[in-house]
Amino acid sequence: MRGIGKRACLLAALLFFLGLLSGCFLWAPPAAPTHLSASDGEYQEHVLLTWSAVPRAARYEVFRAEAEDGDYEKIGETEAPRFLDVGAAPNVLYWYRVRACNPFGCSAFSAADAGFRLGPFPPPPPRNLQASDGTFPDRIRLTWSPAPAASYYKVWRSDIPAGDYLPIAQVSTPSYEDREVVRGRVYWYKVQACNDYGCGDFSPPDFGAAALQLPGAPPNVQASDGVYADRVRVSWGAVAGAARYEVWRAAARDGPYELLAETTATSYDDRAVTVGTTYWYKVRAWNVLGHGPFSEPDSGYAAAGGDGRDEGALPGQPRNVQASDGVYLDRIRVTWDAVPGAKRYEVLRSDTGREDDFVLLATVTATSYDDVQTVALCVTRWYKVRACHEAGCGPASVADSGHRGGTLAQVTGLSAAIVQTSEAGVTVKLQWNAVPAAQELRATYEIWRTEPGVAWRKVEQVSSTTFSEDLPWSPSPLGTTYRYKVRAVSGLGCVPPGAFSAEVAVTVLGRPTPGGAEGESSP
């Protein structure tokens, strides 16, 4: 009996200490919530937050910030492991954290998760656009942060920062690799985020290049010797990867040399000269990584009686060479400025833009040429021009790229009518005229619709020139007016959408009577 009593005492003591430990556990704050998930555009009215329930949590506090590492502010409390953020602005990405609380305190914060509320309008511009700078030898890689509510993105490109940007691609992911680039040339990019309500504003631009490296020394620098009375013409060979050239001048071969001019061409006319004075010239190439080495120097001078039209003087370099970018469906038009003394011009073309890939395409006497040789729409070709006369041809121009394309016309002839009724609702039929060159431009048609209190939205995309849809009697009340508009879009990346048609409307006036439709249409 004495042993049984001893074991009972030990058991009682053990239960006492377990009770103390249990009491300490119950009197502590709860653990941090886990598996926090914020909805990504599933709802137009709110952002839905859910997380795993935490034992001993009496309530949860919800916090929000505009960046993952930003300043989080408390936006509400809830007793259940879910929360509706109705104060979120549409199409804005927010970051959320949650903590669990009871009378003894609050837990640490949960891991953060991002979400947004879908708005009935285009997405905001993408952020953090980055174009690779020489990382790849054959392409430029673009990346950007995903834009809330974006269904796809449009990528635009320009050869100069302030130039006209042209669309080059449409992608569903926040990245793109531009392989239609010339090695060493700098390109500028912008991106738009789009959804069924249209495309938002452009992102801030960024520039990039393929396989950048410091350019080499310009070869074959030549300064004219008495050919001209008013200038010394300096010319040189093109350097791969060069964005521009610097021309330096000195009064003696050994210098000192001073910067005379910067140019993107491969020749320069020095008009700040004195007749009979000999000048020495050096040239070096530049790109975004810096300057390359200087060329070997060459001397030149202006002489009385020189006029630039001597039979032995080759014509200068053609300037302002422009190849059309999608202006014509059946050709690429190349134009340039006239060169004094030129009798003819040679047009050269390349499929890649590489310096060693240009071949003679045509010889003309005019200052323009239409390349009508068969090439697919939106495929880029590069062109150079050189001026010639009886003594030969001068230096080739700076290259310019172009492509065949076209412009989608505005949709015309749009009409709408109620063609069928039933107990469920009415059927509306739209029809319109096909746009010119629809087949060549791979045109399809977007149908957009609005009604009172609802923003314009795309309801369908079709390849025909008719469209029918069923509209239920409910939830829209009788007397509701539906408005429609249509535009043509292309499956080709270089052809932008056409303008929207004039709007048409149909009004559902009342429920049907047997054998007829109750409604009216109007332009």
> Could you report the per-residue pLDDT of 80-103, keeping only the tens digit for each?
999 999 999 888 899 999 999 999
* Torsions phi, psi for 37 (to 5 deg): -135, 125
Name the pLDDT band for 307 (thresholds 50, 70, 90): low
β-bridge partners, 360? 348
Q: Which CATH architecture has domain 127-208?
A: Sandwich (2.60)
User: Per CATH, which fold does 415-522 belong to?
Assistant: Immunoglobulin-like (2.60.40)
What is d(CA 421, CA 415) in angstroms, rounded to the nearest whole number? 18
Average pLDDT over residues 281-310: 81
What pLDDT is stored for residue 400 in this prediction? 86
Closest by alpha carbon to 388, among 422, 440, 346, 333? 346
Q: Which residue has the higher pLDDT, 7 or 108?
A: 108
Options 2.40.50.180, 2.60.40.10, 2.40.70.10, 2.40.33.10; CATH for 222-300 is 2.60.40.10
What pLDDT is stored for residue 304 in this prediction? 66
Please count the other Cβ atoms lying within 10 Å of the Cβ belonging to residue 90.
Answer: 17
Q: What is the CATH number of domain 322-402?
A: 2.60.40.10
What is d(CA 180, CA 144) in angstroms, rounded to the nearest whole number? 20
Homologous superfamily, domain 37-115: Immunoglobulins (2.60.40.10)
Q: Which two tokens stand for residue 234?
A: 């300096």
Name the pLDDT band for 108 (thresholds 50, 70, 90): very high
Write a three-state SS string for 163-185: CCCEEEEEECCCEEEECCCCCCC
Burial 250-271 (b: 16+ CB within 10 A, else e): beeeeeebeebeebebbbbbbe
Whether the per-residue pLDDT at 445 is higher than 90: the answer is: yes
Range with the poorest average pLDDT among 26-35, 134-143, 299-308, 490-499: 299-308
Average pLDDT over residues 140-146: 93
Average pLDDT over residues 155-167: 87
Range with the poorest average pLDDT among 16-20, 52-56, 436-440: 16-20
* Mean pLDDT estimate for the chain: 86
What pLDDT is stored for residue 24 in this prediction? 47
What pLDDT is stored for residue 8 in this prediction? 52
- For residue range 213-272, list pLDDT tens digits in order: 778 899 989 998 888 888 899 999 888 778 889 999 999 999 899 999 999 889 999 999
What pLDDT is stored for residue 489 in this prediction? 92
Name the pLDDT band for 515 (thresholds 50, 70, 90): very low
What pLDDT is stored for residue 354 in this prediction? 80
Q: What percent of the chain has pLDDT over 70?
A: 89
Range with the poorest average pLDDT among 26-30, 332-336, 385-389: 26-30
What pLDDT is stored for residue 375 in this prediction? 75
For 20, the 3-state DSSP assignment is helix
Identify which of 207-211, 304-308, 404-408 has the greatest average pLDDT: 404-408
